[in-house]
């Protein structure tokens, strides 16, 4: 099954109630910091700021999310 979205993970070292950096664990094994509207993984996958796949990658077992499929 191909993924169209990955979960956003909050930095657990920041105290609750304060804004914290977010990241995604790509299925290829890389961690991608979420800091813009298009966040690229070295495997070729690109995720938006909510974790949806903008550009797919075979290494990450992803497919483009429906809102980005043209």
Residue 15 lies in a domain: no
pLDDT value for 52: 97
Residue 5 located in a structural domain: yes
The range of the structural domain enclosing residue 5 comes to: 1-10+20-64
CA–CA distance, 31 with 24 (Å, rounded to integer): 6
Give per-residue pLDDT as tens, 2-61: 889 999 999 999 999 999 999 999 999 999 999 999 999 999 999 999 999 999 999 999
Distance CA 61, CA 37 (A): 21
Number of domains in the chain: 1
Q: What phi and psi values does residue 33 have, to the nearest 5 degrees?
A: -70, 140
Residue 50, both tokens: 């909510």
Q: How confident is the model at residue 70 (pLDDT cuts 50, 70, 90)?
A: confident
Q: What is the pLDDT of residue 1?
A: 63
pTM: 0.89
In this structure, is residue 52 part of a structural domain? yes
Give me the sheet containing 22-25, strands edge to edge. 9-10, 22-25, 31-34
pLDDT at 2: 84
């Amino acid at each position: 099954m191909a993924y169209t979205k990955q979960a956003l993970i909050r930095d657990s070292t920041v105290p609750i109630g304060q804004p914290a950096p977010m990241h995604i664990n790509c299925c290829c094994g890389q961690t991608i910091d979420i800091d813009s509207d298009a966040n690229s993984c070295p495997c070729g996958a690109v995720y938006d700021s909510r974790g949806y796949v903008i550009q797919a990658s075979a290494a990450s077992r992803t497919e483009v999310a429906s809102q980005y499929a043209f």
